[in-house]
Chains A and B, each alone.
Chain A
């Protein structure tokens, strides 16, 4: 068991290191340089060269990479080349914002998706079942940028219920969470529906039914708990994605999250900041995956046997 955990932990570290390394090389290969973006198009080449020297941008890839790794291991991610702020501080500042948005979006997905999924599963082929299918397709087919703008226009301006973007109160979070959750909710509903239908045919449910238990009792006592397992997996993956940042939603609604930070950093070739946000995103993904696996380990005895 301990060996298993250790192995998983090492694997997780390898993945994070891999992501960091590939990102670093990609950023290095990208045409354009941070010094030029800092100085702007009008600065003379001599000024830009001075900035490059100052930041060590003229060093070779291995030298820069080793320097980055050496500092990162000590918890020093350097300073942003765009605004000179310490990267770690900037990332830590944005994390709570991103977590709030992710949780808000996730709650909409679950509050909408789970009831829809259950209803659809109880009446496969029914109107509501068809409805969730259509909804899930509409959800993934509509560009979020446009939906965000239109939602803000309608519910912030025409009918001013919500603030016009920004960040700070619960009211600011509702609209982005709805736009974010709308595309995901129906997906949860579909997964839950499939999962319920599959389990409904398992022997123990049949036994329960044979014992004369009512549909409601079966659903509550036996079905739902097991059917929710894949949903838990999905929550993990989904949350990891949301924590990595939702650039478009953050940009439209003016939410200072990690996604927008990463996007700005990439556009400015702000290597330290890119690496900071990449590291955060990959740690979120890997950490959550690990957590889900451990959860499974705790929940499902069969998995526990395999792991040993």
Chain B
């Protein structure tokens, strides 16, 4: 890395936005994300039905889900509910959960990573041992353990997702801080007597922010999927409230009689994660065309 690397917060900001604006990836990604967010916000407007309503005419005589048709544009699920409405309302739950969990994890991971990377051996080794423990911890056990001790609910799902997401970022950030710390401009700041807090806030954090933002966008996809596996374990979003995760959970064994029950929420996840990843990719390249995301 070179000292003249483009930064988020300084006078080079314009050029960052300038580069970003010229990238088709950024536009496509941004539009997809916007689309999904709008769908979530205006779910009640776009939904043809109540996502919880179990239509009598929504099941065949033998009780199987109906394929897409006029009344149910994306078909129905095993209880005769409208898949389109559930997917739209599910967007709210899935996006909110993933957003909060990811943001919290990003903050925790960054703070721990920066502290560990910046401060002495003692702080570093204590924080990194904790991180290592979380990394070496089987995620299922953590999820089930926490979910069992607290009763399953949306906040608990967020807590679990945060717990299993922050550690890899802390690792990553620490590595970045270690290399930034030795850089000339930090050294000079230290020489003119700047305090630790100032150095961290004004010199180190801006360098790290890019890594954090990129990481958070990329991990969005996996968070939504992990939420699905939480439903599988019984500690996810409580039914009958729809989330993309528990929709997949309810549909997965019906792959032969109602494949749309899996396909619809999967495509929703795909659009969202595709959008976030394109955007994340574009931001990374706009920040520095040559930086790569290391995990």
Contact = CB atoms under 8 A, between A and B. Distances in A.
Interface of A: 11, 14-16, 18-19, 22-23, 26-27, 29-32, 133-134, 136-138, 140-143, 145-146, 149-150, 153, 191, 194-195, 197-198, 201, 230, 233-234, 237, 244-245, 247-248, 262-263, 266, 274, 277-278, 281-282, 285-286, 289
A15 B129 contact: yes
B223 to A, nearest CB: 11
Given A23-B138, A143-B228, 18 more contacts: A15-B132, A22-B137, A26-B141, A29-B145, A137-B270, A137-B277, A138-B270, A140-B222, A141-B266, A142-B266, A146-B251, A191-B295, A195-B292, A197-B290, A198-B292, A266-B140, A278-B141, A286-B132
B136 A19 contact: yes
B273 interface: yes
B135 interface: yes
B141 A23 contact: yes
Given A142-B266, A146-B252, A133 B277 contact: yes
Contact of B138 (A11, A191, A230, A278): A278
A150 to B, nearest CB: 6
B140 A198 contact: no
B229 interface: yes
Contacts of A201: 290
B200 interface: no
A209 to B, nearest CB: 16
Contacts of A30: 144-145, 148-149
B281 interface: yes
Interface centre among A141, A247, A281, A285 (most CB of B within 10 A): A141
Contact of B292 (A150, A197, A263): A197
B149 to A, nearest CB: 5
**Of listed B130, B136, B273, residue having the most chain A CB within 10 A:** B136
A143 B141 contact: no
B239 to A, nearest CB: 17
Contacts, number: 128
B221 interface: yes
Contact of B291 (A198, A237, A277): A198
Nearest to A142: B266
The 4 closest A-B pairs by CB, nearest first: A194-B292, A26-B145, A18-B133, A282-B136
Mostly, the B contact residues are helix
Nearest to A11: B129
A278 B145 CA distance: 13
Nearest to B125: A11
A205 to B, nearest CB: 12
B152 to A, nearest CB: 12
Contact of B144 (A138, A230, A237, A266): A266
A143 B248 contact: yes
A133 B281 CA distance: 10
B248 A146 contact: yes
10 contacts: A31-B148, A136-B277, A141-B225, A142-B270, A145-B252, A146-B248, A197-B290, A198-B291, A248-B229, A281-B138
B195 interface: no
A278 B144 CA distance: 14
Interface string B11-53: 0000000000000000000000000000000000000000000
A281 B129 contact: no
A140 B273 contact: yes
A141 B269 contact: yes
Nearest to B147: A30
Interface centre among B133, B251, B278 (most CB of A within 10 A): B133
Contacts of A289: 132
B274 interface: yes
Contacts of A140: 221-222, 225, 273
B228 A141 contact: no
A233 B175 CA distance: 13
B142 interface: yes
A234 B142 CA distance: 23
Interface in B255-295: 255-256, 262, 266, 269-270, 273-274, 277-278, 281, 290-295
Contacts of A248: 229, 232
A107 to B, nearest CB: 20
A150 B137 contact: no
Contacts of A137: 221, 270, 273-274, 277
Contacts of B148: 29-32
B153 interface: no
B295 A141 contact: no
A195 B292 CA distance: 7
A197 B273 CA distance: 24
A76 B184 CA distance: 54
B295 A234 contact: yes
B253 interface: yes
